[in-house]
Amino acid sequence: MLDQVGPDCMTTAKQKQYTLDRFLRQLDRAHLLICDELGYVTMSQGGVELLFRVFADRYERGSILVTSNLPFSEWGQVFQGERMTAALLDRLCHHRHIFEMNGESYRFRESMKTKKGRKAE
């Protein structure tokens, strides 16, 4: 099958891989990796596998801060399977501090204040 692929396609694939590898090395050098609103946007299978790779590579080597509105019990939907979810949570929760914060959203509360202020004008 590779003999049917033209040299331009192979070059593009190599360029994409080089770009990805370079990006992953940059992430690896970060002291803190922040993944905000995990689960807010649906990811493709490739995206899920890449995120797992990033988290797994940082396991016990770098700090990760993850925010999500989803409880752990719903992460299987995000990672498209219980096995990958279990492996990911195993790495994220080992040697970690978990802060569960329930309550009113700060952003929502502030937007409501702004909205009320506009009506008063």
Does this model's pTM top 0.95? Answer: no
Q: Where are the alpha helices (DSSP H) in 3-105?
A: 7-29, 45-58, 75-78, 82-93
Whether residue 11 is found in the same domain as residue 46: no
Full residue range of the structural domain in which residue 36 is found = 31-120
The residue length of the chain stands at: 121
pLDDT of 8 strictly over 70: no
How many domains in the chain?
A: 2
Tens of pLDDT along 79-116? 888 888 898 889 888 888 888 877 777 778 888 888 77
Whether residue 36 is found in the same domain as residue 6: no
Whether residue 37 is found in the same domain as residue 71: yes
Q: Domain of 85: which CATH number? A: 3.40.50.300
Whether residue 91 is found in the same domain as residue 42: yes
Q: Are 52 and 77 in contact (CB under 8 A)?
A: no
Exposure letters 77-98 (e unless 16+ CB within 10 A, then b): ebbeeeebbeebeebbeeeeee
Whether residue 37 is found in the same domain as residue 90: yes
